[in-house]
Amino acid sequence: MMAERYLVVADRLPGAQGRIAEAGLLTVFTSDRVAIGISPGLPFTLLPGGVGVIMGAFFPRKGRERALDSLLNWEATGQTEMLEAISTHFWGSYVLVCDSANGDGPLVARDPSGALSAYYKAVPSGLRISNDVKLLGDRFTIASDRVRDFIASDGYYAEETCLSGIFDLRPGMALTGRVTQLVERPFWSPWDHCPDPREPGNARAADSVREVVCDTVASLCAAYERPLVFMSGGLDSSVVLAALKAAGRAAHCLNTYTADLSGDERGFARIVASSFNYL
């Protein structure tokens, strides 16, 4: 089964929609400077005012439900204000592309989770962005210096990949400007969501984390009738299962194991699943 893909052609020349069709994608947005195609299984949300598209999972934060078109005057608002409003009132695993008249060039933003990739490449006719590197060109060369740095730094996460000319828009970052002068800047920081250490009350902080986790898991799984949880019995999977239970959701649990006891966590997984009545 083919993975869900998208292709953004920015600062485009005639024929962009043909390239999108050749990739087997459906065109969902066009403007004077941008054409966007997606595979049929990838969800998308059109930005109000016809200024762009949000590709991927996208949902409002619980307790702050607002219609997207009620937040801003999309045709007049600057890109900074738009990103601040979206990142404040919405969550998801998405890539946003906006081509409003208030920017020097199209804006591309990747949500802080980084669940949906966004690779980009500058070409003579403009800019290409996709979660599938194969849609960015026919032939690639290895960036030897970047491979060396990657190995020496034990996996340091930089915007330049190990393929020459291919860059990775990092989570929580926005890409703006023309092809000749692209700029990456952060629009989200985890520090904005950290409690003030001068405020007393660890219980309040714990309640806040619990609420956020439960709301997020419930929202991410809302589209699925019976979510499947990869259950190890460790902290992460246990928290997810607890959040599903709190949301009143039915779920299946899956565990894989090896013949060696060091790779067999079924006992821990059963304990957690049983405590939430998922056995």
Residue ranges per structural domain of the chain: 6-191, 196-275
159: confidence class by pLDDT, cuts 50, 70, 90: confident
The stretch 60-82 carries a mean pLDDT of 68
Q: How many percent of the chain have pLDDT more than 90?
A: 40
Q: Which residue has the tokens 């949301």?
A: 247
Pairing status of strand 167-168 against strand 119-123: antiparallel
Virtual torsion, Cα 204, 209, 212, 216, nearest 10 deg: -160
CA distance from start to end of the chain: 30
Give SS3 for 220: helix
DSSP state of 163: B
More confident residue, 56 or 195: 56
Least confident of 72-76, 98-102, 112-116, 217-221: 72-76
Whether residue 75 contacts residue 101, with contact meaning beta carbons closer than 8 Å, is answered with yes
Pairing status of strand 252-254 against strand 6-10: unpaired
262: confidence class by pLDDT, cuts 50, 70, 90: confident
Strand positions, DSSP E, 159-251:
167-168, 173-176, 183-186, 228-230
**Which superfamily does CATH assign the domain made up of 6-191 to?**
Aminohydrolase, N-terminal nucleophile (Ntn) domain (3.60.20.10)
The stretch 23-51 carries a mean pLDDT of 90
Give residue-wise pLDDT tens across range 93-146: 899 998 865 666 788 999 999 999 999 998 877 889 999 999 998 889 999 998
Q: Report the distance separating Cα 87 and Cα 82, nearest Å.
A: 9
Is the pLDDT at 64 greater than 60? The verdict is: no
The rounded mean pLDDT for the chain is 85
Distances from the Cα of 196 to the Cα of 95, 141, 204, angstroms: 30, 47, 12
Whether residue 53 contacts residue 29, with contact meaning beta carbons closer than 8 Å, is answered with yes
